[in-house]
Amino acid sequence: MANPSQTAPPLLEVQHLCKYFPVRAGLLRRQVGEIRAVDDVSFAVYPGETLGLVGESGCGKTTTARCILRALAPTSGAILFRTQEGTVVDLAPLSEAELRPLRREMQMIFQDPFASLNPRMTLFDIVGEPLLVLGRMRDRQQRMDRVAELLEMVGLRPEYMRRYPHAFSGGQRQRIVIARALALNPRLVVADEPVSALDVSVQAQVLNLMLRLQQELGLTYIFVAHDLSVVKHFCDRVAVMYVGKLVELAPTRSLFFQPRHPYTAALMAAVPVPDPRLRGKMQPLEGEVPSPANPPSGCYFHPRCPHAVEICSQEPPRLQEIAPGHFVSCHRAQELELVGVDAAEVPGHEG
């Protein structure tokens, strides 16, 4: 599939985004430190593309996503969003009232399809709520028509409108969540681990649905996930985070076949491949992810990095464009020969 053009101006540009949470202790709840959940992260998202955001638990994926949608107020940085009218607005400093008219253009799909639906609301209420609240669609019949259309779009029967979420399976609930997110024709959809809680067979159904809707509606996705196989399958470009920092950002193929950051390469080597012939290739990385409240000096990855040299523990590396569209933050990016997913060793895959 052709990559969406990056010649168009970006739909979203995140610049030097930071989100620090205070760490409090003691009786007086005095601030004793801070968690740098997102620390100087910059990237752009182009219209019609899917940008993947990957990294291990706690690296700041959800916090980044929530800042972009202004469910959280960033500590600093800019979030430049190109509105339908073509003007560029910085969402970071806006008040809730100022954000309101922009909210319909950006929607979020949450991780857990069981927790994100109110059990006391019918599908009509759930999917129709944004139409009423943000869309000011007061006419009930009009809302019913639109909800029916949305349910059909995600492969659910319109007759289900009067049912409650408990009557649906995990995959069906995620479809409901998607229908709700699409109610107001958003342009940007941020999906936070939309398939992580689903079984493989259901996961495939939801991923296919998201692909189809993207093509039909021209959606732009930010796709947060920790499963690299899913990300490789689904994304045009991928951003890798480690302890609040962006360490690498590249088109999916380059990232997987020629990773330039040792952490990206280590992540790939740890993915269990569903083929017993490729056994024993898994190379576990030593050590553990550091706490964002107490990160190491220099490059945060240096204590676990097999390629670390002196400078790595002393100076934090800067994100640089090492090849067109390929950004990496590593002192040794130019000289290292890293191994990604080796296309050559892949035996013929069924299907």
Partner 1 sequence: MSNDPAPLLVVRDLKTYFFLDEGTVRAVDGVDFAVHPGQVVGIVGESGCGKSVTVKSVMRLVQRPGRLVAGTIRFRPSSQSAQRWPLAPDGTLDLAALDPQGPIMRAIRGGEIALIPQEPMAAFSPVHTIGNQIVEAIRLHQDVDRQTAWEWGVERLAEVGIPSPAQRMRAYSWELSGGLRQRAMIAMALACGPRLLIADEPTTAIDVTTQAQILTLLRALQEQHNMAIIFITHDLGVIAQIADHVVVMYLGRVMEAGPVEEIFLRPQHPYTRALLRSIPSIHTPSRTLLPTIQGSIPHPFNRPAGCPFHPRCGDFVPGLCDRNTPEPVPVSPTQTVSCHLYTGELHGEPIPDRSSPA
Ligand X SMILES: Nc1ncnc2c1ncn2[C@@H]1O[C@H](COP(=O)(O)OP(=O)(O)OP(=O)(O)O)[C@@H](O)[C@H]1O
Question: If binding is defined by CB under 6 A, does position 63 make contact with ligand X?
Answer: yes
Question: If binding is defined by CB under 6 A, does position 112 make contact with ligand X?
Answer: no
Backbone phi, then psi, for 255, in 5-degree steps?
A: -60, -45
- Is the separation of the CB atoms in 74 and 17 below 8 Å? yes
Burial annotation 248-270 (CB, 10 A radius, 16+ → b, else e): bbbbbbbbbebbbbbbbbbbbbe
Rule CB under 6 A: choose which of 6, 15, 21, 137 binds ligand X: 21
How many CB atoms within 10 Å of residue 30? Answer: 10
In the range 208-227, which residues lie near ligand X by CB under 6 A?
Answer: 226
Strand ranges across the sheet with 30-45: 30-45, 12-25, 76-82, 88-90
155 binds, among partner 1, ligand X, Mg ion, none (CB under 5 to 8 A by kind): none
In Å, the largest CA–CA distance within the chain is 68
Rule CB under 6 A: choose which of 10, 54, 62, 246 binds ligand X: 62
Spatial separation of the C-alpha atoms in residues 215 and 223, rounded to whole Å = 15
Rule CB under 8 A: choose which of 7, 26, 200, 337 binds partner 1: 200
Q: How far is the CB of 344 from partner 1 (least distance, A)?
A: 11
In the range 16-55, which residues lie near partner 1 by CB under 8 A?
Answer: none
Beta strand 88-90 pairing with 106-109: unpaired
292 binds, among Mg ion, ligand X, partner 1, none (CB under 5 to 8 A by kind): ligand X
Residue span binding partner 1 (CB under 8 A) among the ranges 29-37, 102-110, 134-142, 205-213: 205-213
The binding site for Mg ion (CB under 5 A) comprises 62
Q: How many residues in the shown chain lie near partner 1 by CB under 8 A?
A: 57
- Is the separation of the CB atoms in 225 and 231 below 8 Å? yes
Q: How many residues in the shown chain lie near ligand X by CB under 6 A?
A: 13
**Site map (CB under 6 A) of ligand X, residues 265-294, x = contact:** ---------------------------x--
